[in-house]
Structure 1
């Protein structure tokens, strides 16, 4: 699947990430995910004590996957977010491992424009898939109401994510994720 470089507006673009920028992307991603956790659980004293989210291991696993593509989301030449994708050229079934924007970019429609840029950059995609924790209401709203995803599965202890089978989590929350899909059609790409 050939990636197209697409500018959705004069302001939002996807750009390759240099090797020396990967740690900065990881740090920004982890800060954005911790902020989401704090927003969801206001009574949590210090969510950073839980360790980085995603874990360093999960981030490295995604980066080193065979079909991994990492892009930074740019606005007027400045990075405001990033995305780690798994793009399978044979099946056209692609996955969003991580997508984030800096908190300074929230509430301005930038995430939606970034998602449209991702779709435009990978036009041969047949299905997009992603996972998000059950408590991430902001993410659920974004993917369902702004980007056109459908929730197709709920993972929990009785129905664990395939990559968690056989693991014993510390809490039920570690198992509880939604799986989303967006089947691409002509209409869905015109959002």
Structure 2
């Protein structure tokens, strides 16, 4: 069992290019494993990442392991409703499988204690992500987006992927504190 210290820090704008590159490299592994190759251009595209990182309420966070950058997250925080979203979450290649992801997620939960619900999504073929969100973090699957049920927030995102590659699960985690507040 590792005793690494996992912390979060706001990403600085001069770090955004490296953040995007590291995220795309991390996401590429699963796409190549599932489909054999990447389509032309990175996944997610630079335009998608720039949009997510610059969206209203978005906060770009670096995941640090003993002070070293090992990943990142983009969260959207709604300070009025407290229904927040985890838009992007990644660990750099070679950092997976050590419990860093769960520690990082718990640090995000602690950073935003007013959160009533978290939502996130992941491609249908990302079994490790599905396991992580459902079995480790306590999310539940609430929607399956596919060609018959499109994601209204991302209708044409990265449409140069192979047929069906855009299918995704949407997850939700209801925070324990919100259940207490409702009861």
Pair 1:124 & 2:109 matched: no
Contact 1:88 1:94 in 2 (8 A): yes
Structure 1 unpaired stretches of 5+: 1-8
Structure 2 CA distance for aligned equivalents of residues 176 and 23 of structure 1: 27
Q: Give the alignment's TM-score, normalised by structure 2.
A: 0.89
TM-score by structure 1 length?
0.85
> What is the total number of aligned residue pairs between the two structures?
176
Which residue, 1, 8, 12 being the options, matches 2:6? 12
Superposed CA RMSD: 2.2
Distance 1:184 1:64, change over 3 A: same
Any gaps of 5 or more consecutive residues in structure 2?
Answer: none
Partners of 2:155 and 2:129 lie apart in 1 by: 24
Q: 1:39 to 1:89 in 2, by over 3 A?
A: same
Alignment deviations for residues 56-103 of structure 1 (CA, whole Å, 9 cap, x no partner): 111011111110100100011100000011110111111111100012
- Matched residue SS, 1:125: coil
- Listed as ranges, the matches of 1:1-191 within 5 Å are 11-41=5-35, 44=36, 46-47=37-38, 49-165=39-155, 169=159, 171-186=162-177
Deviating runs (4+, > 3 A) in structure 1? 164-167, 169-172
